[in-house]
Amino acid sequence: MSDFNRIKVYKYKNIAAALAVMLLALVALSTSCGNSASGKKANSNKSDTAESSVVAEDNKDSVRSSRLTKNYKYKEMKNVGEGLLVQVDNAHPFSGTVGDTEPLYSYLFGKDGSMLMAAAYPNDEARTEMLIQLNNLAVDFKGYCGLDTLMITSLMPDDESSAKTDETCIGSCADLMLNLNGEYKEFTGTEDYAWIPNNCYKYGFVMRGTDRLRYIGKEAAACIRDMCKADGPADLDTMLADIKDYTFEKPLYFTADNGLEYAGYFVPLSDGATTSIPVPTRADESEYKTFISGNNVDGYIVFADLSGEVEHNQDKDAE
């Protein structure tokens, strides 16, 4: 073969090799661009999902707020010292009324007549609604551990002339001891008795110290429990302080362990003779079940049970 022909062959081989390299480069570039685009698409989807989640949560709050404020009316309250959530101390004596009361005695027994707990003064009186829940708590406690050793040492002071600077004046407190076969022991809420502080919220109670139950209503007790889940330890004093951050327009929404959904908010005391409390209503102007209590200082705490919508509609359909 002539030198000229060799040069032509080598030239064509070089051209083929160069074309092969260029083809491989183009394939690599195409793959890289494709992966980049896919990555951008994936990132875009993640971003869209996150943004959608935020929007969904915002919409949820918006729907909740409109549900609360779309229909409402006002209740006029006159005495900030009335209610289950009043603060009572030397600076804020109790100025409200206790309401319906009954003697403790009949609530010491179960429906079958069996003893549930003892009492130092069986004829002492307290708020009827508190005694009902105290009896329910004692029934379930005995069912849990078989013990009937709880003892109620005091309820409400009977001396009307004394200064009303202790929360027992409101008629919703029960001080506890243990009656162990005639031997009286301090209630510490430990061992089997830990069931009491751990479950009292289900009946509308909170512990005040280690040996006092105070009935505040299931709504307020559920609110305190929700605060404990969200922020750690909370008690009545924490709730009374923190609820002031919430308004009718921007309430605290929470769900109790039994599934009931609530909205909680604070209404400051007005300068006039009465304070107008906004309470939510349904489209037919019927009210949601609402709990209202003064705090005996500077305003009112409100809890609206928003869970009755379905039941209410079913009742209307039945009519």
pLDDT at 3: 42
CATH 3.30.1380.10 fits 89-215, yes or no: yes
pLDDT at 228: 95
pLDDT at 62: 58
pLDDT at 160: 67
Nearest to 248 by CA among 288, 304, 296: 304
How far apart CA 225 and CA 197 sit, in angstroms, is 12
How do residues 119-129 score in pLDDT, each as one tens digit?
Answer: 999 999 999 99
pLDDT at 56: 52
How do residues 67-120 score in pLDDT, each as one tens digit?
Answer: 788 899 999 999 999 999 999 999 999 989 999 999 999 999 999 999 999 999
In the chain, which residues have pLDDT < 70?
1-66, 160-162, 308-319
pLDDT at 23: 47
121 C-beta neighbours (distance < 10 Å), count: 14
pLDDT at 157: 87
> What is the value of pTM for the model shown?
0.78
pLDDT at 158: 78
The CA–CA distances, whole Å, from 4 to 1, 12, 14 equal 8, 13, 15
Q: Which CATH code is given to the segment(s) 69-85+236-319?
A: 3.30.200.180
